[in-house]
């Protein structure tokens, strides 16, 4: 169980919506102090209010993972206001029409900046923080089925490329930490389609063009996971004892191709 983490601090990026909000909720219910990082702070404030009666607590901190200064500020705030971070969930991510044939360079940059470099910046700061505090913590990346399979779906080439980068970063980071004798655990969860706002409001918040309407209609008809299903998987991974490390958990809705 996650009992051993009770009262510990977990950072969840992208806690304002979808999978990140579901993870934050379950961590708070399990007694974690959760620091949510996202741009839309008001949405995290709303969630924090809903979770007031639970055993843990959600602290909403406005931060854009693509802005290094925001992340440095967040870790400064954590250092001064809460105990050391034991868990990091790298969940913030965007998807949108980033095709190669006629996509915009700026769109590609946003996807790579958020899904790859944003994850790297937060991870680096978390590892420095954990090591400075002598914490053998656990870092979980929310990757994607598209980080493992190469399937070009309508208008999306850059997103799977960004998630393949996450696959490589997960594995190289584990090996890197292992080589220096660190006991920090690295895992990733790679879901198939999850019904969230990823192609809608979150796209817009990043100034990305959404995916084509025809694709959205198709998605409506496909089997999907719920954000809670992914949060359950994350909690399962965190519940493993200190000597057990799950590398990768790939999950899909039954019936998804």
Footprint on this chain of ligand NDP (rule: CB under 6 A): 13-14, 16-20, 38-40, 64-66, 91-95, 114, 118, 142, 144, 191, 193-194, 196-198, 202, 205-206
Q: Output the six-digit token pair for 27.
A: 């961590």
Cross-strand bridge partners of residue 57: 33
Minimum separation from the CB atom of position 145 to ligand NDP (A): 6
Question: What are 31's two structure tokens?
Answer: 């007694």
Q: Which is nearer to ligand NDP, 57 or 148 (CB)?
A: 148
Q: Which is nearer to ligand NDP, 87 or 95 (CB)?
A: 95
Name the nearest CA neighbour of 61 among 129, 119, 15. 15
CB of 11 closer than 8 Å to CB of 70: no
Shortest distance, CB of residue 237 to ligand NDP, whole angstroms?
15
Shortest CB 224 distance to ligand NDP, Å = 7
> Rounded to an integer, what distance in angstroms lies between the CA atom of residue 124 and that of residue 75?
11
127/208 with CB nearer ligand NDP: 208
Distance CA 151, CA 192 (A): 12
Q: Which is nearer to ligand NDP, 116 or 184 (CB)?
A: 116
59 is catalytic: no
Check 59, 159, 193, 236 and give the catalytic one.
159
Instruction: Write out the two tokens for 196.
Output: 């969230």
The least CB distance from residue 253 to ligand NDP, in Å, is 10
Residue 226 has which token pair?
């719920």
**Half-sphere exposure (CA, 13 Å, Cβ side) for 116?**
19
Nearer to ligand NDP, 30 or 144 (CB): 144
* Shortest separation between residue 93's beta carbon and ligand NDP, angstroms: 2
Q: What own/partner pairs with CB < 8 Å and gap ≥ 24 does 58-64 have?
A: 58/15, 58/24, 58/28, 58/34, 59/33, 59/34, 59/35, 60/15, 60/36, 61/35, 61/36, 61/37, 62/37, 62/38, 63/37, 63/38, 63/39, 64/39
User: Where in the sequence numbering do the catalytic residues fall?
Assistant: 159
């Amino acid at each position: 169980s996650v009992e051993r983490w009770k009262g510990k601090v977990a950072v969840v990026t992208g806690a304002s919506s979808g999978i990140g909000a579901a993870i934050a909720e379950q961590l708070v219910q399990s007694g974690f102090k959760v620091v949510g990082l996202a741009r839309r702070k008001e949405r995290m404030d709303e969630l924090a209010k809903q979770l007031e009666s639970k055993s843990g607590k959600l602290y909403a901190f406005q931060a854009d993972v693509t802005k290094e200064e925001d992340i440095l500020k967040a870790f400064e705030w954590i250092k001064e206001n809460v105990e050391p971070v034991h868990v990091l969930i790298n969940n913030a991510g965007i998807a949108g029409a980033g095709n190669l044939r006629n996509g915009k360079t700026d769109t590609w940059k946003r996807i790579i900046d958020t899904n790859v470099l944003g994850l790297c910046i937060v991870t680096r700061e978390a590892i420095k923080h954990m090591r400075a505090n002598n914490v053998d913590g656990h870092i979980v990346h929310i990757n994607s089925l598209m980080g493992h399979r190469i399937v070009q779906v309508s208008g999306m080439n850059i997103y799977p490329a960004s998630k393949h980068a996450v696959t490589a970063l997960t594995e190289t980071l584990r090996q890197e930490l292992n080589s220096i004798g660190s006991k920090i655990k690295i895992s990733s969860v790679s879901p198939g389609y999850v019904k969230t706002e990823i192609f809608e409001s979150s796209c817009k918040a990043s100034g990305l063009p959404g995916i084509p309407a025809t694709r959205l209609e198709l998605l409506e008809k496909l089997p999907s996971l719920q954000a809670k299903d992914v949060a359950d998987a994350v909690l399962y991974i965190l519940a493993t004892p200190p000597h057990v490390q799950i590398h990768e958990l790939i999950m899909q809705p039954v019936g998804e191709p």
